[in-house]
Structure 1
Amino acid sequence: MTTLLPTSIVGSLPKPAWLAQPETLWSPWKLAGDELAEGKQDALRIAVQEQGRRGIHIVSDGEQTRQHFVTTFIEHLTGVDFEQRETVRIRNRYDASVPTVVGAVSRERPVFVDDARFLRQQTDQPIKWALPGPMTMIDTLYDRHYKSREKLAWEFATILNQEARELEAAGVDIIQFDEPAFNVFFDEVRDWGVAALERATEGLRAETAVHICYGYGIKANNDWKATLGAQWRQYEETFPLLQRSTIDIVSLECHHSHVPMELVELVRGKKVMLGAIDVASETIESPEDVADTLRSALRFVDADKLVPSTNCGMAPLPRDVALGKLSALSAGAAIVREELAGATS
């Protein structure tokens, strides 16, 4: 029997202190060589165990084997030079030093498939794996070769599809594409962004998800959010397009955001991974806080299509805070699950 309101996390969990610097986004590894490989597997195993202990139904790797949710994938591709770096504006929010596309991009071997296979061995629960979306990938690079954001996005979409098919073969049940850039470049999303995303998912039997958020709880993102006004209506631009797309699940930031809940109605018919945990605050939500958010959402999404989740990744948070938030997510979903069961009995 399928669980009603199955819980999940969007992406990252904090890494152990022996693997990377705590509470630091994209921290360098503290280990190297065989020790690093073993340490990553140990961290992944711990992440799975903690999700199980905290009642998370759809299990992920917590990005324990990745330093960065975009560039760790790009590092394994040909055509990108990490020595030649340029400063670019990331999602029109902050400047960052990024690698340069110097030739045709290609994937010579799988990137995450071995890690996904290891994850599959750790649990009998459904598993989810996240990949960067094509538009967010091109926004994290300087392109000296294609000189066209659209052309490069289509190349990345083809590469992502190769990786996604092998992740599916390794036993991944849900393949998620992270596209925070969808909240910024609306013309491109309409013109080719959704089509490129669909190319990345072509031919998959695994469920597909797109995660669109307002970013980690870092200063640059928080400063940007402060400029967005009393209502954040960016999803109004993208949700109608996604509702008509082949993507199965739409993942959005919700709890403690200024996203009007009624925007969820725009993806009616899709599964919705609803962010009911604020990752920009170290305050641990109460189960009732989570339940209130889920109850509000159920006015706009059918219960059998609601997946309670986090707003975004939790890598910068203290580990005890992140784990406490997982427990709150599960407990809040359980409250609403029981209410729904009582209403139908």
Structure 2
Amino acid sequence: MKTLLPTSTAGSLPKPSWLAQAETLWSPWKLQDAALIEGKQDALRLSLDDQDRAGIDIVSDGEQTRQHFVTTFIEHLSGVDFESRQTVKIRNRYDASVPTVVGAVSREKPVFVEDAKFLRGLTKKPIKWALPGPMTMIDTLYDAHYKSREKLAWEFAKILNQEARELEAAGVDIIQFDEPAFNVFFDEVNDWGIATLEKAIEGLKCETAVHICYGYGIKANIDWKNSLGSEWRQYEEIFPKLQKSNIDLISLECQHSRVPMDLIELIRGKKVMVGAIDVATHTVETPEDVANTLRQALRFVDADKLYPCTNCGMAPLPRHVARGKLQALSAGAAIIRKELSAQG
């Protein structure tokens, strides 16, 4: 029997301090070679255990196997030079030193498939795997080869499709593409961004998701959010076209955000992963906080299409905080399930 309001996370969970620097985004690994492989698998097991103990329904690897949500994938591709770096503005918000595309990009071998097989072997629950979306990938690089954001995005879409098909074959139930860039480059999203995303999911039978958030709780993102005024209506620009797309699930940010909840009406018919956990604070939500967010969302999304989730990844948070937030998410969803069953 299918779970009503199945809970999941948007992506990352904190890494153990013996694997990477605690409470630090994109920290270098503390292990190497065979010890690193074993360490990542141990961390993945711990992350799964935290999700299981909290009662999360759709589990993930907590991104224990990737250092950065975009570049870890790109590191495995040919055509990108990590030694030759340029400073670019990421999503028009902050400067970062990024690798350079120096030739045709291609995927010589699978990137996360072995990790996904490992996770699949540990659980009977549905599993979700996150990949960077094409537009967010191009926004995290300096392109000295194609000299066209759109051309490079189409190349990445083909590569992502190869990886996604192998992840599906490894037993992944939901493949999620992280596209925070969708909240910034509206014209490009509508012109070709959604089309490249559909290329990335071509031929998949498993469910597909796109995660569009306002970013981790880091200063550059918080400053940007503070500049957006009393209402965040970015989703309004892209939801109509996403509603017509082949993507099954749309993941968005709702807890403590200024996103007007009625924007969800624009994606009526899609499954919606409603962010009911704020990842930019160490304060752990109460189950009732989560339930309130879900109640508001239920005005615009049918109960059988509502997936309670986190706003974004929780990698920068202390582990005990992330665990508390997972428990609150489950408990809040349980309150709403009870209310819905009482209503019959």
Q: Distance in 2 between matches of 1:301 and 1:13?
A: 27
Residue by residue over 1:287-340, the C-alpha shift from the partner in whole angstroms, topping out at 9 and shown as x without a partner, is 000000000000000000000000000000000000000000000000000000
Q: For 2:281, give the aligned amino acid.
A: S
Aligned mates of 2:60, 2:238 — CA distance in 1: 26
Stretches of structure 2 that go unaligned for 5 or more consecutive residues are: none
Once the two structures are superposed, residues 97-148 of structure 1 have per-residue CA deviations (whole angstroms, 9 ceiling, x without a partner) of 0000000000010000000000101100000000000000000000000000
Q: Which residue of 1 aligns with 2:152?
A: 152
In the alignment, what sits opposite 1:290? 290
Match of 1:199 in 2: 199
Structure 1 residue 37: Cα displacement: 0.5
Counterpart amino acid of 2:105? Answer: V
Secondary structure of 2:308's aligned partner: strand
1:90 aligns with 2:120: no
Whole-angstrom distance in 1 between the partners of 2:45 and 2:239: 35
> 1:78 is matched with which residue?
78
> Where does residue 66 of structure 1 map in the other structure?
66
Give the ranges of 4+ consecutive aligned residues of structure 1 lying more than 4 Å apart after TM superposition.
none
Provide the residue aligned with 1:213 in structure 2.
Answer: 213
The alignment status of 1:241 with 2:212, answered yes or no, reads no
Aligned residue for 2:226?
A: 226
Q: What is the match of residue 21 of structure 1? A: 21
2:69 and 2:86 map into 1 onto residues whose CA distance is 19
Determine helix, strand or coil for the equivalent of 1:122: coil
Q: CA deviation at 1:87?
A: 0.1
Q: Distance in 1 between matches of 2:9 and 2:122?
A: 17
Distance in 2 separating the partners of 1:49 and 1:72: 24
Name 1:329's counterpart in structure 2: 329
1:234 aligned partner, one-letter code:
Q
Mapped partners of 1:26, 1:77: distance in 2: 19
Which residue does 2:270 correspond to in 1? 270
Residue matched to 1:121: 121
| Deviation of 1:262 (Å) | 0.2
CA distance in structure 1 between the partners assigned to 2:158 and 2:31 by the alignment? 33
For residues 201 and 237 of structure 1, the distance between their equivalents in structure 2, rounded to whole angstroms, comes to: 22
Distance 2:254 2:137 in 1: 24
Letter in 1 for 2:339: E
Does residue 175 of the first structure (1) align with residue 178 of the second (2)? no
Letter in 1 for 2:248: D
Aligned to 2:208, the other structure's residue is in SS state strand
Shift of 1:276: 0.0
The CA distance in 2 between the partners of 1:288 and 1:254, in whole Å, is: 15
Q: Distance in 2 between matches of 1:176 and 1:292?
A: 26
Q: CA deviation at 1:224?
A: 0.2
The 2-side partners of 1:108 and 1:203 are apart by 20
Q: Secondary structure at the match of 2:264?
A: helix
Aligned-pair identity in percent equals 79
Q: Give the unaligned 5+ runs of structure 1.
A: none
- Give the Å deviation of 1:70: 0.2
Q: Distance in 2 between matches of 1:210 and 1:33?
A: 32
Q: Which whole-Å CA distance do the structure 1 matches of 2:305 and 2:123 have between them?
A: 23
- Structure 1 distance, partners of 2:246, 2:65, is 29
Secondary structure of residue in 1 paired with 2:295: helix
Structure 1: distance between partners of 2:276 and 2:121:
29
Q: In 1, Cα distance between the equivalents of 2:122 and 2:283? A: 30
1:110 alignment counterpart? 110
TM (normalized to structure 2)?
A: 1.00
Q: CA offset at residue 283 of structure 1?
A: 0.2
1:232-269 deviation line (CA, Å, top 9, x unaligned):
00000011110000000000011000000000111000
Distance 1:92 1:340 in 2: 42
TM-score w.r.t. the length of structure 1 is 1.00
Residue 309 in structure 1 maps to residue 309 in structure 2: yes
CA-to-aligned-CA distance 1:153-210 (integer Å, 9 cap, x gap): 0000000000000000000000000000000000100100000000000000000000
Cα deviation per residue 1:44-94 (whole Å; 9 max; x = unaligned)? 011111100000000000000110000000000000000000000000000
Q: What SS does structure 1 have at the residue aligned with 2:121?
A: helix
- Give the distance between the partners of 1:299 and 1:277, measured in 2 at CA: 19
Q: Secondary structure at the match of 1:15?
A: coil
Aligned length: 344
SS in 1 for 2:88: strand
